[in-house]
Amino acid sequence: MKDLHEILTILESDGRLTAEQIGDMLDRPAADIEKVIGEAEADGIIRRYKAVVDWDRAGQERVFAFIDVKVTPTRGAGFDDVAERIYKFPEVVSLYLMSGEYDLRVIIQGSTMQEVASFVSNKLATIDRVRSTASHFVLKRYKEDREIFAEKDADHRLAVTP
């Protein structure tokens, strides 16, 4: 459905827009937009609405890490049962089945690097069939969910005049 795709694209870029605003953008009645959004929510197409927060600017330290995991799959379950054990941990922000050298990519959040390291060594690496992990800590966030976080510093050089 063309309307659904257009509405989802708009909501994905700004989930705070009202049905009236979206209707104006698409030249459709707000009631039609509300109906499409309500159905998409009921069908689980729209999972939730969220804010993209600059935690550094808010003064809250958050440590994110990408953990690549090698897993021994099992007949009948593949990677799904291990993935389910992993995504149930509250530290896990996202979890993906990947192609390439590692099977799973886990994105986790903690308050400190030590907390993240402890999660990997005490919880993740101890799961049956997890063969190895490779941790990558996020040092600086430039862009997330299409939002640019990198700010250009003001140029403090003196002007050169002839």
Q: Could you tell me the mean pLDDT of each successive run of 10 residues in the chain, 162 residues long?
A: 88 93 95 95 94 87 95 92 96 97 97 95 96 95 86 72 70
Distance, CA of 115 to CA of 64 (rounded, Å): 10
The predicted pLDDT at position 112 comes to: 92
Question: What pLDDT does residue 154 have?
Answer: 67
Amino acid identity at 58: A
pTM: 0.79
Which residue intervals of the chain bear CATH 1.10.10? 2-42
pLDDT of residue 139: 92
Please report the pLDDT score of residue 114 as a whole number: 95
Compute φ and ψ for 5, nearest 5 degrees: -60, -45
Instruction: Give residue 125's pLDDT.
Output: 95
Write out the H or E segment, with its range, that includes residue 48.
none
CATH class of the region 63-141: alpha beta
pLDDT value of position 149: 86
Tell me the fold of 2-42.
Arc Repressor Mutant, subunit A (1.10.10)
SS3 assignment, position 54: coil
Q: What are phi and psi of 100, to 5 degrees?
A: 105, -155
Whole-number Å distance between alpha carbons of 23 and 20: 5
Q: 3-state class of 79 per DSSP? A: coil
For the chain, residues classed under CATH 3.30.70.920 are: 63-141
